Amino acid sequence: DVKVTQSSRYLVKRTGEKVFLECVQDMDHENMFWYRQDPGLGLRLIYFSYDVKMKEKGDIPEGYSVSREKKERFSLILESASTNQTSMYLCASSLWGAHTEAFFGQGTRLTVV
């Protein structure tokens, strides 16, 4: 069973804080993704990584950065949290690219106050 685990289920942070969201997968998948989920907007891609230390911007990368120092771990960083980054964040991994099943983490609901 593929397991994608996000470090926190709920987070509350203050405006201006630097926030780290962590994601770990245990299936040796090449690809990892960070999505943001908002009502009526679906899942929007923030960043993805197709190899260690490799990353590409998704559709909404502004205000975010990522780090992938090890194959199993992909971190999303909010450099200076703002209230409009209050959202549900979903991490996912897949064996290769977009043409194989994506396995999602349980999500982190981030509230920025």
Residue 105 binding other proteins, by CB under 8 A: yes
Determine, following the binding rule CB under 8 A, whether residue 40 of this chain makes contact with other proteins.
Answer: yes
- CB-wise, 35 or 64, nearer to other proteins? 35
Question: Of the listed pieces 10-18, 21-29, 35-43, 62-70, which binds other proteins according to CB under 8 A?
Answer: 35-43
Measured from the CB of residue 17, what is the shortest distance to other proteins in angstroms?
A: 26
Q: Residue 69 CB, nearest distance to other proteins (Å)?
A: 19
Question: Which residue, 48 or 64, is less far from other proteins as judged by CB?
Answer: 48
Among 22, 71, 95, 107, binds other proteins (CB under 8 A): 107
What CA–CA distance (Å, rounded) separates 53 from 21? 17
d(CA 31, CA 70): 12
Residue 70 vs residues 9, 51, 56: alpha-carbon distances, Å: 22, 9, 16
Would you state the structure tokens that stand for residue 41, as one six-digit string? 């907007």
3-state DSSP call for residue 50?
strand
Q: Is 17 in the site for other proteins (CB under 8 A)?
A: no
Q: Please report the beta strands in 1-113, taking only residues with DSSP state E, as ranges in sequence order.
A: 4-6, 10-13, 19-25, 31-38, 42-51, 54-57, 64-70, 73-78, 87-94, 103-104, 108-112
Q: Does 64 bind other proteins (CB under 8 A)?
A: no
Contact between 106 and other proteins per CB under 8 A? yes
